[in-house]
């Protein structure tokens, strides 16, 4: 069925849609919608009936539909997972201010401190929005949890101290990697974003997380190498299984979708501390420096001349488009980085 969906142009679209609907398989319903963009409202309502939070999230992330309020109301009335609610706030760009406030207030009610501050930071700083009632709640929260008085004059500094307080880097490399590159010469550099440097480092050195990146670059330009360039980090995983949402044929990068193997083996990864892909000048300089190190490594070790273009320097969303829409974000400065690499 997956191959039919990927090659839907070869089939009668009405017959294919009926076949997919009859399966009652929420994943097939979403993938049909994702690739064909056909009958969005009908398919979305079929998915809503399955009550699958994962694929309702995916629908909201990729499509603004007439029934989106119905989808959001279902989530707000039934879901009590702060992480999930934050991801809806973060991923769904077209949310009305009313819905943003409703989601944030529910996160506050659930009392998960980390997601409360991330949600408030996203609202007040990244989106640059303001709501007086919400700001009063922010003041109360900061006073009660941190014993700090917050005002319009200092709230950005306080947010930065909460989210971006520097931690000591772990020593050495993470064990979260594959040894070697399975006889591949890596020919792709993949750019990622993570909301905070600290959360990325903690996850990449957590042996239970099954995730890592070769480098992490903080907002101030600080670079931490997490995995040796001799090894394969766990950042760009693709699967040979059609049942996986990171199935390699889903990749929009032709270099990835044409190789029936795990893309971790033939890619290098750079994680950047950012909410929306915007990088500081220091980060851009650091990213260029790291990419030059990778290019030199490839030349020295394999006598391989890395190709500096947008086919070979890509975003995570070009490898895993179904699950990573906003990594590294629409504001990521690919053109500037590539231009500086070519100097």
pLDDT, residue 300, reads: 98
In 95-248, which residue ranges form alpha helices assigned H by DSSP?
Answer: 97-110, 113-121, 132-146, 155-163, 197-204
Residue 39 to residue 302: CA distance in whole angstroms: 49
pLDDT tens for residues 36-46? 999 999 999 99
Long-range contacts of residues 108-113, Cβ cutoff 8 Å, at least 24 apart: 108/137, 108/141, 110/80, 110/82, 110/85, 112/82, 112/83, 113/145
pLDDT at 215 over 90: yes
pLDDT tens for residues 283-312? 999 999 999 999 999 999 999 999 999 999
Share of the chain above pLDDT 90, in %: 97
Six-digit token string for 124: 């007040």
Among candidates 190, 338, 173, which has minimal Cα distance to 263?
190
The 10 Å CB-count burial string (b at 16+, else e) for 178-190 is eeebeebebbbbb
What's the mean pLDDT in 176-190? 98
pLDDT at 162 over 90: no
For the chain, the average pLDDT equals 96
Q: How confident is the model at residue 262 (pLDDT cuts 50, 70, 90)?
A: very high
Q: How confident is the model at residue 161 (pLDDT cuts 50, 70, 90)?
A: confident
DSSP character for 319? Answer: T
What's the mean pLDDT in 169-184? 97
Residue 5 to residue 54: CA distance in whole angstroms: 20
Q: Which residue has the tokens 């949310």?
A: 95
Q: Is the peptide bond before 328 cis (omega within 30 degrees of 0)?
A: yes
Q: Bridge partners of 267?
A: 188
What's the mean pLDDT in 157-185? 93
């Amino acid at each position: 069925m997956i191959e039919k969906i990927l090659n839907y142009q070869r089939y009668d679209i009405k017959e294919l849609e009926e076949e997919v609907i009859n399966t009652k398989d929420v994943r097939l319903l979403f993938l049909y919608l994702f690739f064909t963009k056909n009958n969005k409202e009908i398919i979305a309502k079929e998915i809503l009936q399955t009550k699958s939070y994962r694929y309702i999230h995916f629908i909201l992330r990729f499509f603004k539909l007439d029934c989106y309020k119905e989808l959001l109301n279902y989530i707000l009335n039934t879901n009590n997972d702060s992480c999930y609610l934050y991801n809806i706030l973060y991923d769904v760009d077209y949310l009305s201010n009313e819905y943003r406030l409703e989601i944030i207030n529910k996160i506050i009610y659930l009392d998960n401190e980390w997601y409360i501050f991330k949600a408030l930071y996203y609202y007040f700083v990244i989106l640059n929005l303001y709501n007086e009632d919400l700001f009063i709640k922010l003041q109360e929260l900061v006073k009660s949890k941190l014993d700090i008085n917050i005002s319009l004059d200092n709230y950005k500094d306080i947010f930065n101290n909460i989210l971006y307080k520097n931690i000591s880097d772990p020593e050495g490399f993470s064990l979260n990697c594959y040894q070697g590159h399975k006889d591949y010469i890596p020919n792709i550099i993949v750019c990622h974003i993570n909301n905070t440097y600290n959360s990325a480092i903690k996850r990449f050195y957590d042996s239970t997380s099954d995730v890592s990146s070769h480098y992490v670059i903080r907002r101030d330009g600080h670079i931490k190498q997490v995995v040796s360039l001799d090894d394969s980090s766990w950042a760009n995983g693709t699967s040979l299984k059609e049942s996986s949402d990171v199935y390699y044929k889903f990749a929009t990068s032709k270099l990835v979708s044409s190789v029936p193997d795990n893309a971790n083996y033939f890619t290098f990864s750079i994680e950047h501390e950012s909410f929306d892909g915007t990088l500081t000048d220091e980060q851009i300089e650091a990213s260029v420096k790291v990419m030059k190190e990778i290019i030199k490594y490839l030349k020295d070790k394999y006598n391989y001349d890395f190709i500096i273009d947008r086919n070979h320097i890509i975003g995570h969303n070009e490898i895993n488009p179904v699950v990573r829409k906003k990594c590294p974000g629409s504001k990521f400065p690919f053109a500037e980085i590539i231009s500086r690499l070519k100097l």
